[in-house]
Amino acid sequence: MQVIGKVVKAAALAVSVALATVPAASLAQKAADVIVYKCSFNHPPPHSAIVGPLFLELNQKTGKARVFDPVIKYQVGKPLAAKVLANSDRRLTVRWIIHEAKGTLDGKPWRFPGLSHDMSIFKPGNKLMLVTRSHAADNSYSANGQCVLQH
């Protein structure tokens, strides 16, 4: 449903100015086993919840991951846990869900069940692929991009 995408995009853009640069240290512990990727999108689809920059923190020792982007900042306020689906020499894939997204658009409140995200970083080269699915409608959006290792 395009309305949902427009609403999420508007909400994400409202905070993206404040998130122009998020220091990697705000996500990661000072440890050699923690790496942080800063990812950007080549051409995010219009009317979607795909907004950059997106940060992925991976603790290689524990296998735990967290993500942070303007949508997460607006909806949750802090980095969100992500499930690691694959981590090899060729690919890192994680999944996260934002439950019950809400906000306002044109002064009216809106709410929908949530958004699921599947993100893969293809190694070497750190090429990015992100797919976002709405829980409220039969639609999904995808975008390609590039990630840079921060730590």
Q: Are 141 and 18 in contact (CB under 8 A)?
A: no
Selection from 43, 73, 31 nearest residue 55 by Cα: 73
pLDDT band, very low/low/confident/very high, at 17 (cuts 50, 70, 90): very low
The Cα–Cα gap between 5 and 74 comes to 15
Q: pLDDT band at residue 2, thresholds of 50, 70 and 90?
A: very low
Break the chain into its structural domains and give their ranges: 2-17+35-149
Residue 107 has pLDDT above 70, yes or no: yes
pLDDT tens digits along 56-85: 999 999 999 999 998 888 888 899 999 999
